[in-house]
Structure 1
Amino acid sequence: MLRSACRRIGRAALTALVAGALAASAGTAALAQQAGRSIVRDAETEALLQDYLRPIFKAAGIRSGSVEVLLIPDPSFNAFVANGRQMFVNTGAIIDSKVPNELIGVLAHETGHLAGGHLARLREQLERAKTLALIGGLAGMAVSVGGAIGGSADTARAGMGLGAGVGEIARRNLLAYARSEEYAADQSALQYLAATGQSAAGMLTTFRRFAEDTMFLSRRVDPYAQSHPMPTERIDQIEAAAKASPSWGARDSAQLIARHDLVRAKLVGFTEQPQLAMRRYPMTDRSLPARYARAVVAYRLGNAADALRQVDGLIKASPNFPYFHELKGQILLETGRPREAVPPLRKAVSLASSSGLLKVLLGHALVETGDPKNVDEAVKNLTVGLQADPNFSIGYRQLARAYAMRGDTALAELATAQGDFVEGEIKDAKMHAQRAQNGLKRGSPGWLRADDILTYQPPPKTR
């Protein structure tokens, strides 16, 4: 189930680094562009990323549930962290990672930023840089004004130059600090990989790819005006340590590679142009990932019957793989056949019982049947699914419909309020929460959840 979530990456969630001081660097520009993009949700991809991150987080001393991992529908190879609680991974980073180890190395690097508290410290450095630039600007202004009053054009120009010079020094100091944090994250990544018995070979492969991509710019780029170290420098810094690790020769398991290849194929099928996807996975390729990608492409092209035929072939080949059943259920649900979607989605949930997203999808299908006999099962799956994945706003919309079908108007209002809250529509959330409270017993769990929304105060806006 690859679908856009009704949620956007707020600019405030990114570091102040993106906001201004480092806007000249290519890496920062990319992050700034990411800031306005939607995220996408997919149970299979997210489960794989969590499995990659779980041992890395343990080695870093980070509780897995404390970090939200979000997918961005972007073809570029990139991942980054924000506010110490979120990690963003581009779909392109997964697609372009030929083996799990290449992606795991990048995730380990980003974990180094989280564990090191780099974003918080970077904000402190940014405030210092702002102060230095302000002081320099005021000093330059004073000299410039003094020169103008005294009739000295040279002194006035010198004052303007002083202000600009101090600002440039502040900016370069901040960039130097950012580069040092990148080096620190590299070293942390090497430690995490060694601690988990994984090779850093994939990390080196990725950095070499970055080096090749930027090689044509290297002669024109000022290395002191970048927020990241030059790629060749990074390779030199980590290669010796990586090869000295006892885990250098470790390889990904065949099972992990198989899962990785299936996720890559699914993402290609859903995110790339159909003709490009078919070039990657031509009809002559009879592997399971290729068949998976082609089934998705058939569905995207509007040929649901052919897509379902291909998915049935996938299920026959691997009957206990939950996400083939999920895809069948999704196709049936989204083509107006919710009753037929329920059995494969029930099967998917039974095979991947920890997935909140799958339970929400099953609950959605049960609601769409319009059958009152399915309402209780829908409420159960949606409630449990949202407990596991409380930021999935679509689930609250379906839960509101289920409660309305059952005649629980107050709980329907509460679910609507929760959906509005997740989407950042605070005013609407408070309105529906008030309506919910009016129909709920004071002090009950639902009443308290509504009260949490009513008493919520948004944090002050950051510049």
Structure 2
Amino acid sequence: MRHISTVQEPGSGKAAAPVLGRILRKAGTLFMAAAIALPSLTAPLAAQGRKIPVVRDAETEELLRDYAAPIFKAAGLPKGQVEIILVNENTFNAFVPDARRMFINVGVLIEAETPGEVIGVIAHEAGHIAGRHLVRLRTALANAQIMTVVGMVLGAGAMAAGVSSNSSGAAGGGAAIAMGAPGIGQRSLLAYQRGEEAAADKAALRYLEMTGQSAKGMLRTFERFADQQLFSAKYTDPYAQSHPMARERYNSLEEQARKSKYFDKPAPPALQARHDMVRAKLTAFTNHPNAVARLYPRSDTSMPAQYARAVAAMRSSGRAAVKDIDALIAKQPDNPHFHELKGQALLESGNPKAAIPSFQRAVQLRPNEGQFLIWLGYAMVGANDPSLLAEAERILKNGIQRDPNSGIAFSQLAIAQARQGKQAEADVSTAQGMMMTGDFQAAKRYAARAQKNLKRGTPAWIQADDILTYTPPALNR
């Protein structure tokens, strides 16, 4: 697992308002409607002006894809349409900003005790995509804005009438209308959002039923939210929420969920085992090694516990973790993720050449996994052996074809090309990596420099030209 990059929606650099008065003026930045987080008016991550901290882990992404595949099929979403992106946040949250991306926090996997809890989240978000809720949200935003404007115009008219008739009461009434106008639009929009959330919940139940899976995990998620809301619900206005209250959601779904013949059906043991391993891995990567030692003490000899301790050891001592990782490999020699972890431990402890065989083994076991290819190319570049550079370049290009969203891959490819004297190609690769991070101006500078030294019409020249002619999407204003 590694932190690859941050993602920020175009134009979302300014903080979105916690109230809808400002959100309505920047409707294009809003993607809070399709979130499963605790009800709030806070827009997720990038819409708050923060970049989304994306992390990559082949094992976790593979598990999420396996969770999602039957749900997406039941929802009528074409294979490959929706990309699941892992966010380095420990809170229990997931959201969809459009019909092609679903963001899931690592906190979802860490907190979820069963696969069903994660699958329920995916099913809910799939309900938003299949129901085209994000498309219809734009209409709801426009309607809410119209209601706000009309209310303010009426209020202004009442105040004008009050002034002309020298009636302070009429003027005061007009001021009240004008001041209340944003609230009219806001509550209308929130009511719409609550309806869409309820629709996504019901769609999720249908998808789970169609795929023969229990909704018990989904109910556990809402039960968790309800427990968290217990002490604040007394002071919460249910009509000022973008989501239905968690206890209401739980109660409305429980009866229907319990009617399913699959309600008491547990997850397959092999799937539960994979979930436990990923959960342990993410816990170890996102917590201090001392915390990991308390959660997974040496007395716990299970595979997830051993995995967590090996990851924690790698994070704290690097090469010293190899012994623990070798113990895992001895038990599961064909587990590619153990070989990946060993390679990462050696690479990050300053011994990239020794890491090459581990990454090669991981690639042998999963030839089409782009992240393994990128790791291997990274280690070959880091080995500082000129005889490996051409092969490293080939492997990195192969990895990018399978995983085009890796900033590290482009940076390592640039190094491999520059060391072989291919400076113009290296500039193009550097520019592509900068495009990944959203640094468009710097990317264009490198692309322009590259084009001067490339033959017109060649693949590298075309790649540079694509960067030079790229225009970031503008916000609707």
TM-score normalised per structure 2: 0.91
| Residue 405 (structure 1) aligned with residue 404 (structure 2) | no
- Report the equivalent of 2:311: 296
| Residue 57 (structure 1) aligned with residue 72 (structure 2) | yes
The alpha-carbon deviation at position 331 of structure 1 amounts to 1.0
The alpha-carbon deviation at position 18 of structure 1 amounts to 7.2
- Report the equivalent of 1:184: 199
The verdict on how the C-alpha distance between 1:210 and 1:359 changes in structure 2, with shifts beyond 3 A counting, is same
- Report the equivalent of 1:228: 243
Quote the Cα distance in structure 2 between the aligned partners of 1:212 and 1:313. 40
1:13/1:82 contact within 8 Å kept: no
The alpha-carbon deviation at position 8 of structure 1 amounts to 2.7
2:345 corresponds to which letter in structure 1? I
The verdict on how the C-alpha distance between 1:41 and 1:13 changes in structure 2, with shifts beyond 3 A counting, is farther
Structure 1 segment 26-425 matched on structure 2, within 5 A = 26-29=39-42, 31-32=44-45, 35=48, 36=50, 37-301=52-316, 303-425=317-439
SS at match of 2:99: coil
The verdict on how the C-alpha distance between 1:116 and 1:195 changes in structure 2, with shifts beyond 3 A counting, is same
The verdict on how the C-alpha distance between 1:178 and 1:18 changes in structure 2, with shifts beyond 3 A counting, is farther
Q: Deviations over 1:17-58 (max 9, x none)?
A: 977528899533262588414121111111111111111111
1:21/1:126 contact within 8 Å kept: no
Q: Deviations over 1:181-218 (max 9, x none)?
A: 00111111111111211111111111111111111122
2:141/2:189 contact within 8 Å kept: yes
The verdict on how the C-alpha distance between 1:28 and 1:45 changes in structure 2, with shifts beyond 3 A counting, is farther
1:323 corresponds to which letter in structure 2? H
| Residue 435 (structure 1) aligned with residue 434 (structure 2) | no
The alpha-carbon deviation at position 86 of structure 1 amounts to 1.5
Quote the Cα distance in structure 1 between the aligned partners of 2:262 and 2:331. 34
SS at match of 1:125: helix
The alpha-carbon deviation at position 112 of structure 1 amounts to 0.7
1:9/1:39 contact within 8 Å kept: no
What's the Cα RMSD here?
2.2
Q: Deviations over 1:55-74 (max 9, x none)?
A: 11111122342222222222
Quote the Cα distance in structure 1 between the aligned partners of 2:119 and 2:17. 25
2:180 corresponds to which letter in structure 1? G
**Deviates most, 340-349 or 122-131:** 122-131
2:7 corresponds to which letter in structure 1? R
2:413/2:426 contact within 8 Å kept: yes
The alpha-carbon deviation at position 245 of structure 1 amounts to 2.3
Q: Deviations over 1:364-414 (max 9, x none)?
A: 111111112211221122112111221211111111111112222221111
SS at match of 2:446: helix
Quote the Cα distance in structure 2 between the aligned partners of 1:17 and 1:226. 17
Structure 1 segment 17-28 matched on structure 2, within 5 A = 20-21=19-20, 26-28=39-41
- Report the equivalent of 1:457: 471
TM-score normalised per structure 1: 0.94
1:440/1:446 contact within 8 Å kept: yes
The structure with higher relative contact order (CA 8 Å, sep 6+) is 2
Quote the Cα distance in structure 2 between the aligned partners of 1:438 and 1:34. 38
The alpha-carbon deviation at position 152 of structure 1 amounts to 2.8
1:155 corresponds to which letter in structure 2? A
Show structure 1 runs of 5+ residues with no match.
Answer: none
The verdict on how the C-alpha distance between 1:57 and 1:238 changes in structure 2, with shifts beyond 3 A counting, is same
Quote the Cα distance in structure 1 between the aligned partners of 2:172 and 2:153. 14
Quote the Cα distance in structure 2 between the aligned partners of 1:107 and 1:119. 16
The verdict on how the C-alpha distance between 1:438 and 1:33 changes in structure 2, with shifts beyond 3 A counting, is closer
Show structure 2 runs of 5+ residues with no match.
Answer: 24-31, 33-37
Quote the Cα distance in structure 1 between the aligned partners of 2:147 and 2:123. 34
Q: Paired residues, what number? A: 460
1:17/1:122 contact within 8 Å kept: no
- Report the equivalent of 2:26: none
- Report the equivalent of 1:8: 7
Q: Deviations over 1:318-367 (max 9, x none)?
A: 11111111111111111110000100011112212222112111111111
